[in-house]
Structure 1
Amino acid sequence: MKQYFIRQVAVSLVAGVTLWGCGNQLNVDPVQSVPEDKALQTASDVKGALVGCYDGFGSNNFASGAIQYTPDLLADDGEIRFNGTFATLLQYYQKAMLANNTQVRDTWTSAYSTINRVNNVLENLSKLDTDAERAAAEGEALFLRGTIYFNLVRLFARTWGDGDNTVNPGVPLVLKSTKAPITSEYSIPRNTVAQVYTQVIADLTKAETDLKNGKLTTDGVTAEGAAAILSRVYLAQGEYAKARDAADRVIQSGRYALEIEFGNVFNDYVNRKGVPSREAIFSSLITIQDGTNDLLTYYGASDYGGRGDIRVQSKHLAQYEQGDIRGDFFYQGSNGQVYTQKYIDQFSNVTQVRLAEMYLTRAEGNLLAGTQVGDTPLNDVNLIRERAGLAPLKTADRTAILKERKLELMFEGELLHDLRRTKRNISSSVAYNAPNLILPIPQREIDVNKLLVQNQGY
């Protein structure tokens, strides 16, 4: 097991993040705390509000923790162990959530609060000075909204194709800002899964187009970031040619490159003083001044400032081939337990999507579409294996591709979604479409909005 020097950083921590597309740090401005329902009067107001959208997206209750550990805990079949004291996360791990689970509530609330900020920006694009600024701001805002809704529908609704997508309830689509006082006009029902996916694709497609000519924030999301999330959406739908093409656009852009060393992908504050990995397509920025992240909190041992709640078990470690560098990317904490080395620093950025995933998506898309766009499935898979120190495969079927995807992206929040979209059961007793893999609509929302229908089993 590799050991790292444990740094002691004395700072006052306040939850707060901004985001990276690629390049340098996004400027943190006090205007990011502008109330989400404040009227935006000037171009400066709109720009500041857009930074605030990134801030909301990257909160611990959403993109810097919740959307990763929630599906990871739900997907477990003995490969990890949750040993924490928080009943909210224990319910995830035991697949026995209650409708009054406060973490479920906080994830939902954080998402819709940020969506409200985004809608406020979209309604005030005219305040910006040029068409180029308006297009860039629109692209960034639509990317955030589309990505939030995609994560919400994956967590709070039945997976695509499990029954009738045009009937299955998804999540409410709120496409206009809400401002005080809150009245009954803001009570809306859940849109269908199909309607949510249609909106997600529309938002992300327009975002990719808008962002081709640049972005408004210094280092916000790029067009390739929108394409990368689109590739996930199309995979979820079984639209393999479209997933392949979206991933290929990211790869062919030439803006990103695989890290030579697997360890350099993660913990960028340790490795590069906060400069994101060249492999990172889109990341949440965690600053020393005002940031923290819940990935270290739960996945990291106390040696590095974490709680040590999510522990890696031998059942997972046994899945790596001899010589696989990824199989050594773990450490033993002072408590004798094993933890992933992906999150060992409190102030390192949280990568939301990275280039290795695009190669694996292109491989799967090409394989299932019977094509060789960009490269062959075998070559794409072997590129990832080579970086991991493994011998190349001679053939690549879907089982091999999905295995590489699991081991490459483990602990990054995608396993549950991959299992559900490929209709692979979680365990012998938990089917891929089991109701207890879907989060409940928060009880508080049900109580306030009588038009909301609760999920099965709650």
Structure 2
Amino acid sequence: MKKNLSIYALALAAGLFLMSGCDSKLDVAPTQSIDENAALSTSRDVEVTLIGCYDGLQDADVYGGGFQYTSELLGNSDELGFGGTFQNLLEMYNKQMTTANVGAANSWAGAYVAINRCNNVLSALDIVDEDKKERIEGEARFIRGSLYFDLVRLYARTWGDGDNAANPGVPIVLKPTRSVTDEDDVPRNSVAEVYAQAIEDLTAAKTLLPEENSIYATKYAAMAQLSRVYLMQSNFAAARDEANSVIQSGAFSLNPTFESLFFTFLDNAGANPEEYIFSMIVTQQDGVNDMNTYFGTTISSIVGTAGRGDIRVLPKHRALYEAGDARGAFFVTPTNNTFTQKYLDQFSNVLQFRLAEMYLTRAETNFRLGTNVGATPLADINAIRTRAKLKAATSVTLASILKERHLELAFEGHMLHDLRRNKMNIGALPYNSPRLILPIPQRETDVNKALVQNEGYN
């Protein structure tokens, strides 16, 4: 039976675009399926498809900014203002989303496009050159595991909100979709199952990936992502140990100043700072930073700045900083609105993980567990505070650690997830409000009748 276009057809079309095997660029048959022997027949074909996995990951609605600003808008409690005209962002800001929300639909589709490309790569490992096989498998599994983790965080109840084994998560698809039939009506797996799949992929990636891998994912990126997964599960010992391993590796170092972490194109010729563990690379020819699009603005005195200026920083947020905090000065008010300086650079790389997050995770988890693995919570917090030009603290509490996390990682995509995992209200909404969960896109439920819609959506 012929079906309407769904995530699987989208994934198929996008995946085939990146595969070689045709004698002529114009010799393209308009078909819903392709012989897999023609699609991936050499190691080079698989390597090209892997690049397509990264291309899907850096999509503007995925790791190119969409996942991050969605978290910031849904997690906002009057620390941000919104002055844009895009309905999908306004719905997120107001926590009044509809099943037709374009942002939710594009993030879902973009993630599954990348997942299907990863599945194509993983299905063809037997033809990959032996000296490249482990790395290629590790990269594909890192991307797939990361996407499943972020999908379940946004489109399902948070871990611990009810029965993880019963709460619907997102569909797990582990085989490439090369033709679209009724069998592709895949139901939602449970939240527990999706977390288990993410951990399985990321744990494998940690073992398979090298310590250095140019601009691509390394074993340390997998460890950093695992630390996030375990932190969301309140598995504090595992989150601590993954963060500690990244810190103790010595592969990264805290930048000497907070200001030097950003403007990677304008001030750092496009290179990542030593603190960055993994980012989406943006150049003048490729890639997009949608955090710049919405958080950024054009400052006439700073060449290379850009952005719509839709998301502004309100006084409630700025009042949280102590006097002398360099992070509290990292804002600009060109007219009547205040903006963070983190995203002024039009071609800045889109940050995913940096070392400061690992210090903050290690501090929090050590404090909760009463341990001092790697360092004391006080020492880790002071490493962050003194870099921000603040006096070293003499003691810490869970509240003070979480506040340092909030200020250090502000606007980097952590807000919703940190509040939900700590069961904190978001404005007048409880942490488990259905209004803080993205809808399953209407175009998906129309095509796939096996998909159950989230609570609160018609």
TM-score computed with the length of structure 1 as normaliser: 0.90
The SS at the match of 1:242 is: helix
Query: Partner of 1:55 in structure 2?
Result: 55
Please list the CA deviations of residues 326-348 of structure 1 after superposition, one character each: whole Å capped at 9, or x if unmatched.
00000012x32100000011111
Contact 2:57/2:143 (<8 A) preserved: yes
Q: 2:207 aligns with which of 209, 213, 220?
A: 209
- Equivalences for 1:295-306 in 2 at 5 Å? 295-303=291-299, 304-306=305-307
Q: 2:281 aligns with which of 255, 280, 285?
A: 285
- Equivalences for 1:96-115 in 2 at 5 Å? 96-115=96-115
Residue 287 of structure 1 and its aligned partner are, at CA, apart by 1.2
Q: Partners in 1 of 2:406 and 2:325 — Cα distance?
A: 13
- Equivalences for 1:120-269 in 2 at 5 Å? 120-130=120-130, 132-180=131-179, 182-212=180-210, 215=213, 218-269=214-265
Report the residue type matching 1:172 in the other structure.
Answer: P
Report the residue type matching 1:277 in the other structure.
Answer: P
Residue 301 of structure 1 and its aligned partner are, at CA, apart by 1.4
Q: Partners in 2 of 1:94 and 1:302 — Cα distance?
A: 26
- Report the CA distance shift for 1:340/1:365 in structure 2 as closer, same or farther (over 3 A): same
Please list the CA deviations of residues 145-198 of structure 1 after superposition, one character each: whole Å capped at 9, or x if unmatched.
010011000000000000000000000001111013x10111110000000000
Residue 212 of structure 1 and its aligned partner are, at CA, apart by 4.2
Residue 302 of structure 1 and its aligned partner are, at CA, apart by 3.5
Residue 370 of structure 1 and its aligned partner are, at CA, apart by 1.4
Q: Partners in 1 of 2:81 and 2:19 — Cα distance?
A: 39
The SS at the match of 2:267 is: helix
Confirm whether residue 397 of structure 1 aligns to residue 397 of structure 2: yes
Bigger Cα displacement from structure 2, 241-250 vs 289-298: 289-298
Confirm whether residue 457 of structure 1 aligns to residue 453 of structure 2: no
Q: Partners in 2 of 1:269 and 1:169 — Cα distance?
A: 41
Query: Partner of 1:12 in structure 2?
Result: none
Query: Partner of 1:11 in structure 2?
Result: none
Contact 1:244/1:361 (<8 A) preserved: yes
Report the residue type matching 1:228 in the other structure.
Answer: A
- Report the CA distance shift for 1:32/1:324 in structure 2 as closer, same or farther (over 3 A): farther
- Equivalences for 1:282-431 in 2 at 5 Å? 282-303=278-299, 304-333=305-334, 335-427=335-427, 429-431=428-430
Please list the CA deviations of residues 435-457 of structure 1 after superposition, one character each: whole Å capped at 9, or x if unmatched.
00000000010010000000000
Please list the CA deviations of residues 47-86 of structure 1 after superposition, one character each: whole Å capped at 9, or x if unmatched.
1111110111011010011011101001111111011000
Confirm whether residue 34 of structure 1 aligns to residue 18 of structure 2: yes
Please list the CA deviations of residues 1-25 of structure 1 after superposition, one character each: whole Å capped at 9, or x if unmatched.
xxxxxxxxxxxxxxxxxxxxxxxxx
Query: Partner of 1:27 in structure 2?
Result: none
Mind listing any 5+ residue stretches in structure 2 that lack a counterpart?
1-14, 21-33, 300-304
Residue 290 of structure 1 and its aligned partner are, at CA, apart by 2.5
Residue 213 of structure 1 and its aligned partner are, at CA, apart by 6.6
Report the residue type matching 1:185 in the other structure.
Answer: E
- Report the CA distance shift for 1:273/1:33 in structure 2 as closer, same or farther (over 3 A): farther
Q: Partners in 1 of 2:405 and 2:175 — Cα distance?
A: 37
Number of aligned residues: 422
Query: Partner of 2:7 in structure 1?
Result: none
Please list the CA deviations of residues 187-214 of structure 1 after superposition, one character each: whole Å capped at 9, or x if unmatched.
1100000000000000000000011476
Q: Partners in 2 of 1:443 and 1:276 — Cα distance?
A: 38
Contact 2:168/2:189 (<8 A) preserved: yes
Q: Partners in 2 of 1:401 and 1:290 — Cα distance?
A: 38
Greater than 3 Å deviation, 4+ residue runs: 35-38, 212-215
Please list the CA deviations of residues 379-429 of structure 1 after superposition, one character each: whole Å capped at 9, or x if unmatched.
0011000100111111111101100000000000101100000111112x2
Report the residue type matching 2:326 in the other structure.
Answer: I
Q: Partners in 1 of 2:419 and 2:277 — Cα distance?
A: 23
Give the alignment's Cα RMSD to 1 decimal.
1.5
Report the residue type matching 2:147 in the other structure.
Answer: I
Residue 225 of structure 1 and its aligned partner are, at CA, apart by 0.5
Q: Partners in 2 of 1:260 and 1:302 — Cα distance?
A: 27
